[in-house]
Structure 1
Amino acid sequence: MAQQETNSQQAQPQEPAKPRKPWFGTPTAILILGLLVWVLALAAAGGATVANHMLLQDATFTDEPTRIAFNYLVYFPSTLLAVLGVGIVVLAAVRWGVYGRDAVGVPDHRGQQEVVDLLKQVNQRLLISEAAKRIAYREQDLQALRHTIQMDVERGQFDAALVLVGELAQTYGYREEAETFREQIAVARSAEQDAKISESLARLDEILARHDFDRAGREAAKIQRLYPESERVRDVTRRVREARERYKMQLEREFLEAAEREDITQAMNVLKTMDKYLSEAEAAPLRETARGVIGKQRDNLGVQFKIAVQDKEWTAAVRVGEQIIREFPNTRMAEEVRAMIDLLRERAAGQQAVQATP
């Protein structure tokens, strides 16, 4: 029986003893070696200091170059040991940080492969965890997605909302609900566009009311560029052109009516305005009437000027004279007024000063 137990114990495989790692190759041992080298450097520096002190007391070494050379010689071993100690400590720190405190030599490729395998396992577990989270929080994600789509529609960010609608259809499979959202977005976008078009057309009407037809033409072209598919803006250019034609016809009618009732002032005002809108061909039928009105206006101004001068109403004379020069600069009457205007201004200033005196 004892023999069988002995045989069974001999048959069992013995676990191989783990080899002991050499301690002298570890970062700890290298660090201690560096500290020892520093201790030797300190001891050598102390000995060099003593030797240097003895040299200074020796009267035979009076030559300065000799003393300098001796100093360099006695401190060289301590300096070399200090530099060597720094290198050893840096080496120990690097090995400690890269391979660990007890590492000996450089880790083999088997250790690196084990690390890679471990990282792959962690990555697979993370992927499984993310998939599980997505399944667990599916309803919450859908609610958040729907809420975000609604908020984008309310803020007018329709393109961003359409991107999320595509996510709802492709990722989660809610295609019918995605189509409902697309219809809602289309309606909201159309309503917003109609509001913007109405605002642009109202702004165009304001410009037309001021008879600024050049600016109105630019505004109409801009509206057509912004909303090329809208039926409401298709005829805005024609609208501006027709408004311009109506205004020109209105000016012609007002001019002829003022000339017929011999309202020369009104006729001249309308004539100045017409000059901005009528071409030479359009103004040709009105040329004779305009000449008559202009002649009467010139004559009226000449009469007013003479009466003001005769009555010594110098302020009125200056005002009428400046109007003659401004409206009829190339006439003989304008030349006569220019010759008198400076004197008239002096007299008008004196008259005003007298009137202002209490």
Structure 2
Amino acid sequence: MARQNSSLTWVFFLILVLALAVFGVGVLLAAQARGWEMLAAGGIAVVLVLGLWALSLSVQNAHQHALRRLEDAVSPVHERLQQISVLLNLISEQQLISERAKSVAFREKDLEAIRRAVREDIARQDWEAALVLVSDIETAFGYRQEAQRLREEIEGYRSEQVRREVDNAVALIDRYCREEQWNQAWREAERLGRLFPDDPQVQGLPRDIEARRQGFKKHLLDSWQEAVAAHDVDGSIEILKKLDLYLTPSEAESMQDTARRVFKDKMQSLGQQFTLAVKNRQWAEAVQIGETLIRDFPNALMSREVAARLPLLRQRMNEPQAAGV
């Protein structure tokens, strides 16, 4: 602003010098009676220059005064803005610190929440979900050792649960085998195989069941041979009924002759018992033996003969004398 005022002063000074020069020339011309025009022009120029210079100085003074007033008015605002700027910077720094503190606090809360969720998944035996959360602990929070420890713990719980379930199923399969419920035993083994396909004990269950089945079959065959050798007709038939579930077609064919002989002996034994009961007038017993004979040997000639006699035997069985009245 000072340089601008100095420039204006020099401009007006030069113009004033020129106006005075014109005025001086006008004075000389007027003194020589050569005309008053130059003198008038010079006088007017001097007056205009002085007037404009004075006006310019007045405007400059007013402008400077206004600037000083504006500076006086703006200075407190500027200082206040500087104070506000400093305060905002301080608040920003504190906010940043607060956000970091919150982040640390929330990080701890999130970590504790994940740890609780892992425990809940373990309690529910949801091993896959628990392992996913453990991976979050490692990747999101960087706790590799804790994640590894939790994985080992989860694997231990899972192995224990698998072993307990396998042991219970094996006990059930053992009961099925002892009760000769082989189909149920195989179905249970298949179920375990779908649940735990990599477990060695589970993989061997079908083989173990078949081995026990074959062992039981061998025991029945040995008992059959012993009963036949001892002429235990009833025992032989009972064993043969059980063997029917185990024999292959070729094995059954090889036993047909012996089985026919056993059943023939059984039929003859029933026939003898029937005859003896009729002879002793034991009508109820005779009817019971006759019905058994007909049921077990429906196509035999002896059965047809007994069936023809049963109506009379039932009639006698129902007579008062037969009842001992």
Under a length normalisation based on structure 2, what TM-score does the superposition of the two structures give?
A: 0.65
Larger Rg: 2
**Counterpart for residue 94 of structure 1:** none
Letter in 2 for 1:286: M
Letter in 2 for 1:253: D
**Matched residue of 1:156: which SS?**
coil
Which one of 165, 177, 189 corresponds to residue 220 of structure 1? 189
Aligned residue runs from structure 1 range 156-175, under 5 A: 156-175=125-144
CA RMSD of aligned residues (A): 3.1
Is contact 2:137–2:147 with CA below 8 Å preserved after alignment? yes
User: Per-residue deviation at 1:279?
Assistant: 2.3
Which one of 187, 196, 201 corresponds to residue 165 of structure 2? 196
Cα distance in 2 between the residues matched to 1:246 and 1:293? 24
**Counterpart for residue 232 of structure 1:** 201
**Counterpart for residue 122 of structure 1:** none
Aligned residue runs from structure 1 range 71-86, under 5 A: none
Unmatched 5+ residue regions in structure 2? 1-61, 71-96
| Identity of matched residues, % | 36
Is contact 1:298–1:324 with CA below 8 Å preserved after alignment? yes
Does structure 1 residue 263 correspond to structure 2 residue 218? Answer: no
User: Per-residue deviation at 1:192?
Assistant: 0.9
Does structure 1 residue 183 correspond to structure 2 residue 152? Answer: yes
Cα distance in 2 between the residues matched to 1:214 and 1:265? 28
**Counterpart for residue 255 of structure 2:** 286
**Counterpart for residue 95 of structure 1:** none
User: Per-residue deviation at 1:155?
Assistant: 3.3
Is contact 2:317–2:323 with CA below 8 Å preserved after alignment? no
**Counterpart for residue 251 of structure 1:** 220
Under a length normalisation based on structure 1, what TM-score does the superposition of the two structures give?
A: 0.59
**Counterpart for residue 101 of structure 1:** none
Letter in 1 for 2:130: A
Cα distance in 1 between the residues matched to 2:299 and 2:319? 30
Does structure 1 residue 318 correspond to structure 2 residue 291? Answer: no
User: Per-residue deviation at 1:181?
Assistant: 0.8
Is contact 1:208–1:216 with CA below 8 Å preserved after alignment? yes
Is contact 1:305–1:321 with CA below 8 Å preserved after alignment? yes
**Counterpart for residue 107 of structure 2:** 138
Change (3 A) 1:140 1:309: same
**Matched residue of 1:171: which SS?**
helix
Cα distance in 1 between the residues matched to 2:108 and 2:127? 24
Is contact 2:316–2:322 with CA below 8 Å preserved after alignment? no
Q: Deviations over 1:205-228 (max 9, x none)?
A: 111101122332222222222211
Letter in 2 for 1:237: P
**Matched residue of 1:302: which SS?**
helix
Is contact 1:314–1:351 with CA below 8 Å preserved after alignment? no
User: Per-residue deviation at 1:153?
Assistant: 1.8
Q: Deviations over 1:314-351 (max 9, x none)?
A: 22112211111111111111111222333433443456
Q: Deviations over 1:84-112 (max 9, x none)?
A: xxxxxxxxxxxxxxxxxxxxxxxxxxxxx
Cα distance in 1 between the residues matched to 2:238 and 2:162? 43
**Matched residue of 2:255: which SS?**
helix
Change (3 A) 1:167 1:249: same
Cα distance in 1 between the residues matched to 2:218 and 2:134? 56
**Higher RCO (CA-CA < 8 Å; seq separation 6+):** 1
Unmatched 5+ residue regions in structure 1? 13-127
**Matched residue of 2:141: which SS?**
coil
Change (3 A) 1:351 1:290: farther
Q: Deviations over 1:139-159 (max 9, x none)?
A: 333233323323322332212
Q: Deviations over 1:161-188 (max 9, x none)?
A: 1122122122222122112111111121
